Amino acid sequence: MDISIEPLDVTVIGGGPAGISACLELCTLTGLSIALLEGEQELGGMPRSCHIFFGLRDRKRFYTGPSYARKLDRLVRKTGARIYTGFRVLDLVTGSPGDAHELHVLSPEGPLCIRSRFILLATGCFESSRSERFLPGTRPSGIFTTGTLQQLVNLRGLKPGDRALIIGSEHVALSSVLTLKRAGVSIAGLVEGDLRLNTYASVAASMSRFFGFPILKNTAIHRIFGSSRVEGVELLSGRSKETLHLDCDTIVMTGRFRPDSSLIDNTPIEKDPYTLGPAVDTAFMTSVQNIFAAGNVLRGADTHDLCALEGRLAARSIIRNSRTSKQKIFRYIPMRAERPIRYVVPQRIMPMPKRFFSKFLPWPEIQLEKTLLRPTLEAWSRKERIWQGAYRRLLGNTRIPLPIEKFLWDRVDPALGVTLRVIQGV
């Protein structure tokens, strides 16, 4: 039987940059009882096992991943928030409008039942596994995601193998290169199925030359070889249809992040069918009153300082709602996207004067399935175009801010909302 603890005003689920930054902002308002629940034994999230370039936009300076995580840990422990590590939330039971929500939690001491007026989901994301990518071949050991690789190397000081092949070309693939070289692992190559890389091509080319590995675009994994351990892969060129054999004992699968959103699976909270995370409005509130979401749980991987800023904005929305017992009803306009746009976040927009939009930048945003050259983005409502923008290049699987302050909102049908399209691009 679950043990109940005293009701809380706000419970933040997830001790990464978004969750911790939300707590720091919430604690600026005295009188709220706030709890931060983290399933791991340490706070900080993914930055604990990463490299450099953290904290510029939220902390106004550069940190390494571990030092950034330690900084956030120190800051939040100085507040009045209750910090619970090793607490895994198993179930979320939404309350009726105006009532508290309920969390069923597995703690080091046993099961707990927590009731909270407000809940912020900041559970982050994870990379797609081999089974989700449908990679053919045998199933030997030596196949890792970037997250697992970084934990092995940066937290445990282990060498995962001798020669590695990197699959995928999102920004995180470049982080995998640095992690492998730090561990003393040679790199057999970087494989991307699309015609173009989904990261900065010049940076990837420089790393390829410096560390001496090939970049193979328009190439797919045809087969993995090995019994107890990876022995090599067979690659299939999309252009020539020729196969190429590469020897390696390690495979690192990068990118294709998905929100860690299983908590909302059996709840009334609306899930976006494209991001697979909770759908939110411009206040970061989900479809259930007083349940908010911020950070990578909304769309998959994004830079940690931007997730931290989202946590702050979500906290400010919670503070505004906590000051009144009556729920304000706003008229939001739905936003939709057509392929090759993967998604738009938030999914519900509240039009406002132009001077207010700067507070939400770089929010809202879209993400493309692949990198496009010379694309034109358009926004439509009914049969009328309300905005058009031409770009030289847009990277795939990367946050692209939308200039919604330029949309002709007076021409938008509130019921039909706005549809985003890519009209051209190569």
- Contact between residue 19 and residue 12 where contact means Cβ atoms under 8 Å apart: yes
DSSP class of residue 2? P
Question: Which phi-psi region, left, alpha or beta, contains residue 305 (left: φ > 0; alpha: ψ -120 to 50)?
Answer: alpha
| Mean pLDDT within 54-70 | 89
- State the pLDDT confidence band at 424, using cuts at 50, 70 and 90: confident
Query: By three-state DSSP, how is residue 160 classified?
Result: coil
Domain spans, the chain: 3-126+258-322, 129-255, 333-424
Q: What is the pLDDT of residues 83-114, one digit of tens each?
A: 999 999 999 999 998 899 999 999 998 999 99
Q: In sequence order, what are the beta bridge partners of 339?
A: none
Q: Could you tell me which residues come within 8 angstroms of residue 209 by beta carbon, excluding any fewer than 6 positions away?
A: none
* Percent of the chain topping pLDDT 70: 94
The domain 3-126+258-322 belongs to what CATH superfamily?
A: FAD/NAD(P)-binding domain (3.50.50.60)
Instruction: Using the predicted structure, report yes or no on whether residue 289 has a pLDDT greater than 90.
Output: yes
Q: What is the pLDDT of residues 124-171, one digit of tens each?
A: 999 887 777 878 888 899 999 999 999 999 989 999 999 999 999 999
Q: What is the pLDDT of residues 330-382, one digit of tens each?
A: 788 999 999 999 999 999 988 765 555 555 444 689 999 999 999 999 999 99
| Mean pLDDT within 235-261 | 91
Q: Residue 362: what pLDDT?
A: 45
The answer as to CATH 3.50.50.60 being correct for domain 129-255 is yes
| Mean pLDDT within 301-325 | 89
Q: Could you tell me which residues come within 8 angstroms of residue 26 by beta carbon, excluding any fewer than 6 positions away?
A: 10, 12, 32, 34, 81, 315, 318, 319
Element spanning 380, H or E: strand 376-381
DSSP class of residue 100? P
How confident is the prediction for the chain on average, in pLDDT? Answer: 90
Q: Residue 356: what pLDDT?
A: 57
Dihedral sign from CA coordinates of 285, 290, 294, 296: negative
Instruction: Using the predicted structure, report yes or no on whether residue 119 has a pLDDT greater than 90.
Output: yes
